[in-house]
């Protein structure tokens, strides 16, 4: 089969190669999947660069979220048969035409969900669900401010927050990207790169949109000055959800603001919650999959690249050009425009 292989750690993600490798038959509880689509995520890039907390043994193929069809099963597999449509995940290996994976890492994929959308939902929407429901206790009619709303996790938070009945204010860096977010359900959008919206204060627009009260819940994967400004446009008893620091800057929370406005600053690590509380992790995974298959949530895939062009797919993410998600495809699969 063909696969994208990383042979050495490098800052330059284009050092990966596209080559033929052998894949053995599945054993025991393993299922062999013919991969149709695999999502591109920042950990894929970071693993190539040696910057991710998990470091796979060399050589390896990036790609952790994928969908496809069962082509072979191990002798102990009971829940899957050749021809089944499936979606699954692993730490790496998805930028390939096929993969062997334990059956407990797979789900049956209904025919109404495309391979591209199936490969794009898991990490982003699970993070958003844990943040908004488990940690943030978002309620209907509350105002949710989503930063980085044009990225995969941010767009998932907009989609899920809308499903939960919140009023959505979404921020991003370009009008073109924010237009997509608005079309997908955000009530209001703010381009924080425009004068008087970012360093001058996106807080003023948020206050204006909330009759001076501020947002009830703020979803922040950016950090830095975005967090600082968020502290100035949050409602009394509001919750700031710290998802990550794509700005590269770890902010310092002013404790006097936290005290006076009774603010909660809440850290969110969706994967860690599942590891520490397996039952809660199982429940959230089940819930997000049911939302996907019922059509209640709708992952947005902005671009698809063939497997041999995976470097350009990763560069699109690296250069912050992705709106929602980008996928690599294999085995002749091509997403339709409706995806």
112 contacts 84 by C-beta, under 8 angstroms: no
Cα dihedral 125→127→131→135 (10° resolution): 120
Query: In this predicted structure, what is the pLDDT of residue 195?
Result: 57
Name all domains of the chain by residue range, CATH numbers in brackets: 2-109+300-329 (3.90.180.10), 123-272 (3.90.180.10)
CA–CA separation, 235 and 196 (whole Å): 21
Buried b (16+ CB within 10 A) or exposed e, 16-32: beeeeeeeeebeebbbb
Say what the pLDDT of residue 199 is.
Answer: 45
The tokens 């597999």 sit on which residue? 77
Q: Is the pTM of this model over 0.85?
A: yes
What is the pLDDT at residue 337?
63
The helix, strand and coil proportions of the chain, stated in percent and rounded to the nearest 5, come to 35, 25, 40
CA 147 – CA 326 distance, rounded (Å): 19
Give the pLDDT of the chain (339 residues) as one tens digit per residue. 999 999 999 999 999 999 999 999 999 999 999 999 999 999 999 999 999 889 999 999 999 999 999 999 999 999 999 999 999 999 999 999 999 999 999 999 999 999 999 999 999 999 999 999 999 999 999 999 999 999 999 999 999 999 999 999 999 988 999 999 999 999 999 998 765 544 446 888 999 999 999 999 999 998 888 899 999 999 999 999 999 887 778 888 889 889 989 999 999 988 888 889 999 999 999 999 999 999 999 999 999 999 999 999 999 999 989 999 999 999 999 987 656
């Amino acid at each position: 089969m063909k696969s994208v292989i990383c042979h050495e750690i490098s800052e330059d993600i284009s050092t990966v190669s596209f080559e033929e490798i052998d894949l053995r038959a599945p054993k025991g509880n393993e299922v062999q999947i013919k991969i149709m689509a695999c999502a591109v995520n920042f950990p894929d890039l970071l693993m190539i660069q040696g910057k991710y907390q998990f470091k796979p043994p060399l050589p390896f193929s990036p790609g952790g979220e994928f969908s496809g069809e069962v082509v072979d099963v191990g002798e102990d597999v009971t829940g899957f048969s050749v021809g089944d449509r499936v979606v699954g995940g692993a730490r790496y290996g998805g930028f390939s035409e096929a993969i062997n994976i334990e059956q407990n890492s797979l789900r049956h994929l209904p025919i109404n969900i495309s391979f591209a959308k199936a490969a794009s939902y898991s990490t982003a929407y699970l993070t958003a669900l844990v943040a908004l429901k488990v940690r943030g206790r978002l309620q209907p009619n509350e105002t949710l401010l989503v930063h980085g709303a044009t990225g995969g996790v941010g767009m998932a938070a907009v989609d899920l927050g809308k499903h939960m009945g919140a009023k959505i204010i979404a921020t991003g860096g370009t009008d073109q990207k924010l237009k997509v977010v608005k079309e997908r359900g955000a009530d209001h959008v703010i381009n924080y790169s425009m004068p008087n919206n970012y360093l001058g204060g996106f807080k003023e627009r948020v206050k204006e949109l909330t009759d001076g009260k501020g947002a009830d819940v703020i979803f922040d994967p950016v950090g830095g000055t975005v967090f600082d400004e968020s502290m100035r446009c949050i409602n009394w008893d509001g919750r700031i959800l710290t998802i990550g620091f794509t700005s590269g800057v770890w902010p310092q929370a002013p404790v006097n603001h936290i005290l006076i406005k009774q603010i909660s600053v809440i850290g969110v690590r969706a994967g860690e919650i599942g590891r520490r509380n397996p039952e809660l992790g199982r429940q959230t995974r089940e819930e997000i999959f049911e939302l996907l298959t019922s059509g209640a949530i709708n992952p947005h895939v902005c671009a698809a690249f063939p497997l041999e062009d995976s470097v350009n797919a990763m560069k699109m993410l690296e250069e912050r050009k992705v709106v929602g998600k980008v996928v690599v495809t294999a085995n002749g699969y091509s997403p339709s425009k409706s995806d």
